């Protein structure tokens, strides 16, 4: 297959590597432009661009897939356009390129968790499994016919980071198999059931605020869903702290809602129901330390209370309009 590959973040790297190693002709890799990052605000290349360069593949980084960029894509004469977390909506012209149009690898079992944050959404919803889907790209977001799917169980130890990493690798294999089946005419597209569709939304920095009035199990899910960004933060007094290694407990252990106490090697915080235990803490502007180290340096935290926070409610598990 002659493939134009569109992708940007680390999640897309296993897919590019797998298709390249399978012997397909990657005629062009398209990635988002280099963006300023870090304290020095220096331009940073995307993970996909770096891997493409290591394979000596041609790379384009248009600001948009407008007319000039589209002509470049069309001149490549691809059999299929493969999209993996590219970061932009494809227009009708791009979707129609080649014999097989455009296909997308999405980290959920569509039609569940369409949208930009499907892995976080699955964790927030308390799903016991998720998966990956290869679908035909259409005008509506993540709504095209399904070309291939694979399930993946979610373990209690999973965070969004670990789960997304695993889905990137397993999804790349699914993508390779689906592309091979397309070439042989062995794919039978399945229409998505709209009545089962749910949507995720893009995460923002405000999602990090801890709502201590929520049940401990929900806060635990939230912490897992928000790793590594934007994390889970709380405020006590005039200090902002980020919480790590969070676990849920069924009882408060005598603590009031929001009150901070001690557990073995950890701190415990009373929640709307139950309590959470926190293994590591990072105060704004300081290094990450264990809860024990933090308490030694700030003993006043024991018995203090977490400030109330206004937390946006994520759209999780909602039925599509």
Q: pLDDT digit of tens for each residue in the chain (321 aa)?
A: 999 999 999 999 999 999 999 999 999 999 999 988 777 778 899 999 999 999 999 999 999 998 888 999 999 999 999 999 999 999 999 999 999 999 999 999 999 999 999 999 999 999 999 999 999 999 999 999 999 999 999 999 999 999 999 999 999 999 999 999 999 999 999 999 999 999 999 999 999 999 999 999 999 999 999 999 999 999 999 999 999 999 999 999 999 999 999 999 999 999 999 999 999 999 999 999 999 999 999 999 999 999 876 444 444 443 332
Query: Which residues fall within 8 angstroms of residue 228, CB to CB, at 6 or more apart?
Result: 159, 160, 161
CA atoms of 27 and 25, how far apart (whole Å): 6
CA atoms of 50 and 31, how far apart (whole Å): 10
In this structure, whether the domain defined by 2-196 belongs to CATH 3.40.50.170 is answered with yes
| The domains spanning 2-196 and 205-301 adopt the same CATH topology | no
Contact (CB, 8 A) for 167 and 84: no
Strand partners, 134: 105, 148
pTM summary value: 0.93
CA atoms of 317 and 305, how far apart (whole Å): 32
CATH architecture of the domain 205-301 equals Roll (3.10)
* Domain locations in the chain as residue ranges: 2-196, 205-301
């Amino acid at each position: 297959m002659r493939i134009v590959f569109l992708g940007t973040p680390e999640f897309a790297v296993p897919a590019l590597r797998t298709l390249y190693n399978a012997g397909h002709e990657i005629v062009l890799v398209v990635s988002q432009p280099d963006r300023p990052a870090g304290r020095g605000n220096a331009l940073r290349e995307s993970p996909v661009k770096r891997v493409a360069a290591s394979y000596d593949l041609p790379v384009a980084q248009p600001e948009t897939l407008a007319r000039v960029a589209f002509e470049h894509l069309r001149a490549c004469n691809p059999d299929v356009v493969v999209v993996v977390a590219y970061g932009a909506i494809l227009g009708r012209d791009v979707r129609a390129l080649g014999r097989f149009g455009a296909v997308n690898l999405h980290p959920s079992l569509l039609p569940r968790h369409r949208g930009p944050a499907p892995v976080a959404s699955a964790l927030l919803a308390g799903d016991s499994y998720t998966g990956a889907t290869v679908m035909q790209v259409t005008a509506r977001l993540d709504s095209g016919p399904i070309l291939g799917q694979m399930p993946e169980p979610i373990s209690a130890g999973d965070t969004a980071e670990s789960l997304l990493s695993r889905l990137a690798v397993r999804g790349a294999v699914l993508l390779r198999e689906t592309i091979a089946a397309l070439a042989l005419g062995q794919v039978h597209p399945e229409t998505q059931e709209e009545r089962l569709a749910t949507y995720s939304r893009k995460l923002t920095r405000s999602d990090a605020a801890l709502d201590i009035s929520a049940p401990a199990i929900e806060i635990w899910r939230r912490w897992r869903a928000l790793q590594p960004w934007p994390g889970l933060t709380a405020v006590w007094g005039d200090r902002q702290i980020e919480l790590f290694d969070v676990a849920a407990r069924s009882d408060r252990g005598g603590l009031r809602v929001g009150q901070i106490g001690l557990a073995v090697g950890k701190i415990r915080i009373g929640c709307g129901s139950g309590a959470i235990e926190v293994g590591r803490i990072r105060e704004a502007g300081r290094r990450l330390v264990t809860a024990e180290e933090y308490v030694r340096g700030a003993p006043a935290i024991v018995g203090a209370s977490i400030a109330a926070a206004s937390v946006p409610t994520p759209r999780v598990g909602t039925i599509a309009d």
